[in-house]
Chains A and B, each alone.
Chain A
Amino acid sequence: DAKTTQPPSMDCAEGRAANLPCNHSTISGNEYVYWYRQIHSQGPQYIIHGLKNNETNEMASLIITEDRKSSTLILPHATLRDTAVYYCIVRVDMNRDDKIIFGKGTRLHILP
């Protein structure tokens, strides 16, 4: 079972920052937070991951609370192409016996 809780859907205006929350209150000390997204009719796409520090890459920023029980994915300037289902996942980093377990995710609608 997925170890995260996300809102089922969110709307965001094009050009604004999209902030997607995720709760992972049972996260273990050696588990990372990962974000993937799935655009309609495509395979999931890796976005970003982190352990406890905030992370930023060319796609997004990841803010993890100090107690690590929740995090927020930030798409700084959302475009229509960011409409997708976003999955927040926790797992032990790069353990070949571990696997990504997808929950229901958040369906993000970017509004023109």
Chain B
Amino acid sequence: DTAVSQTPKYLVTQMGNDKSIKCEQNLGHDTMYWYKQDSKKFLKIMFSYNNKELIINETVPNRFSPKSPDKAHLNLHINSLELGDSAVYFCASSQELGLGAKYYGYTFGSGTRLTVV
């Protein structure tokens, strides 16, 4: 079973449209993230949620709005898409651990390649 799954895998859309990317994790993790990887391959964090609470909100246009209906889901809605939004968007999850617990790091999804034309 896929641990962190994103849909869709590919998304091609026109400028000005509104689109959503969905992310689900079945690992029981408390925290979920959205990262953006641009054409130069730099990975930058956008948001993180912990138990449905927004924790990290980097300098991202307010056209981007994350929504977490429960701790297993973190969706990303983008309004008025622009050419510069074209990138691969990665969802990830992680778990805060108690003392002595083994840490497995962030688990990333396979990405959503968004192309705005």
Q: Assess the B90–A49 pair: CB atoms within 8 A.
A: no
Interface stretch among A20-28, A65-73, A74-82, A93-101?
A: A93-101
**Please, how many residues of chain B have a CB less than 8 angstroms from a CB on the other chain?**
27
Size bin of chain A's contact surface: 20 to 34
Chain B residues lying within 8 Å of A42, measured Cβ to Cβ, are 110-111
Q: How many A-B residue pairs have CB under 8 A?
A: 53
Chain A residues lying within 8 Å of B35, measured Cβ to Cβ, are 102
Contact with A along B99-117 (1 / 0, CB 8 A): 0000111111111000000
Chain B residues lying within 8 Å of A45, measured Cβ to Cβ, are 108
B116 to chain A: closest CB distance in Å? 19
Chain B residues lying within 8 Å of A97, measured Cβ to Cβ, are 55-56
- 29 interchain pairs (CB within 8 A)? A34-B105, A36-B105, A36-B106, A38-B43, A41-B111, A42-B110, A42-B111, A43-B4, A43-B108, A43-B111, A44-B43, A44-B90, A44-B106, A44-B108, A46-B104, A46-B106, A46-B107, A47-B105, A49-B103, A49-B105, A94-B96, A94-B97, A96-B50, A97-B56, A99-B33, A99-B45, A100-B45, A102-B42, A102-B43
Give the A-binding residues of B (Cβ under 8 A): 4, 30-31, 33, 35, 41-45, 48, 50, 55-56, 90, 92, 96-97, 103-111
Give the B-binding residues of A (Cβ under 8 A): 34, 36, 38, 41-47, 49, 85, 87, 93-94, 96-97, 99-102, 104
- A45-B108, A87-B43 known, 18 other contacts, Cβ within 8 Å: A36-B105, A36-B106, A38-B43, A42-B110, A42-B111, A43-B110, A43-B111, A93-B103, A94-B96, A94-B97, A96-B30, A96-B48, A99-B33, A99-B48, A99-B56, A102-B42, A102-B43, A104-B42
